[in-house]
Chain A
Amino acid sequence: MENKEKYEQVFIKSFALTKEALNENLIYESVPSWDSIGHMGMIAELEDAFNIELDTDDIIDFSSFEKGKEILQKYNVTV
């Protein structure tokens, strides 16, 4: 599976979204399922999917679907 597809699947699974909802408007708390608890679940799914461990600062900065792509670059994951 391509990184882009893996990344999208994490959001679809974690927040029960459709692929159409994955865009620049998808930010923390923009949908009910992306609350603080949902956030930690999504981070855990991402870590499993890409076999990485995010630093605390990156978990806090991971505030949108688009921002997440930038953060993953630091871990050599290009989405």
Chain B
Amino acid sequence: MSENIRSQSFDLIGIQECQRNRYPLLFVDKITNVIPGEKASGIKCFTYNEWFFPPHFDDEPNVPGFVQLECLVQTFIMTFLCMEEHKGKKTNFAGINNVKFKRKIIPGDRLNINANLESFKRGIAKGTAVSFVDGEPACSAELIVTLPDVFENFKPKKLAIEVKND
């Protein structure tokens, strides 16, 4: 079966059926080329109407780093939240490594994001995401995200610490 036949796309409504981020913290407009359990691509278009541009900064509006990371991770989580058994579940950050910011993103820019899921086991998803503006690298990171509904089922028991009195 070709990749085009297997891949899925999601508009804003579909994205919100899969993940729990909402305005003003939903930072992806469209998801394309999703191969469940493998990869997803995202698109985020920035206009000056975004709530963070006026304060960041009034004389030089640009996208804050945490928003750029959210764009990456919100695309990344679609690689597994698109699966029927995980749709609509909440996710938590567990780790972000090797973050690189390469380019300022300003009003009018369209961000293209590519995310790859490298492993998804027992509610822990590990992978990478990179973003581009006009083909130029913008931001990249290695991501670890947990799915608490699944992950909590595998947490070990805590041992009681034995206190000895001499």
Mask: chain A, 27-43; 1 = CB below 8 Å from B; 0 = not: 11100000011011101
B157 x A40 contact (CB < 8 A) = no
Chain A nearest Cβ from B92, distance in angstroms: 10
Complex contacts, A29 vs chain B, CB 8 Å: 158
B121 x A60 contact (CB < 8 A) = no
Complex contacts, B157 vs chain A, CB 8 Å: 28, 60-61, 63
Mask: chain B, 117-140; 1 = CB below 8 Å from A; 0 = not: 001011110000000000000000
A64 x B159 contact (CB < 8 A) = yes
Complex contacts, B121 vs chain A, CB 8 Å: 40, 44
Q: Which residues of B (130-154) have their CB < 8 Å from a CB of A? A: 144, 146, 151, 153-154
Q: Max chain B CB contacts within 10 Å: which of A36, A39, A56, A60?
A: A36
Q: How many residues does chain A have at the interface if contact means C-beta atoms less than 8 Å apart?
A: 17
A39 x B158 contact (CB < 8 A) = no
A40 x B159 contact (CB < 8 A) = no
B153 x A28 contact (CB < 8 A) = no
Complex contacts, A49 vs chain B, CB 8 Å: none
- Cα distance A45–B157 in the bound complex, in angstroms: 19
- Cα distance A44–B121 in the bound complex, in angstroms: 9
Does B22 count as interface, using CB distance less than 8 angstroms?
A: no
Does B94 count as interface, using CB distance less than 8 angstroms?
A: yes
Complex contacts, B159 vs chain A, CB 8 Å: 27-28, 63-64
A28 x B158 contact (CB < 8 A) = yes
B153 x A39 contact (CB < 8 A) = no
- Cα distance A71–B144 in the bound complex, in angstroms: 27
Cβ 8 A contact of A62, one of B95, B153, B156, B158: B156
B154 x A40 contact (CB < 8 A) = yes
A-B contact list, 26 entries, CB within 8 Å: A27-B159, A28-B156, A28-B157, A29-B158, A36-B155, A37-B94, A37-B95, A37-B144, A37-B146, A39-B154, A39-B155, A39-B156, A40-B124, A40-B154, A41-B124, A43-B122, A43-B154, A44-B119, A56-B153, A56-B154, A59-B122, A60-B154, A60-B156, A61-B156, A61-B157, A64-B159
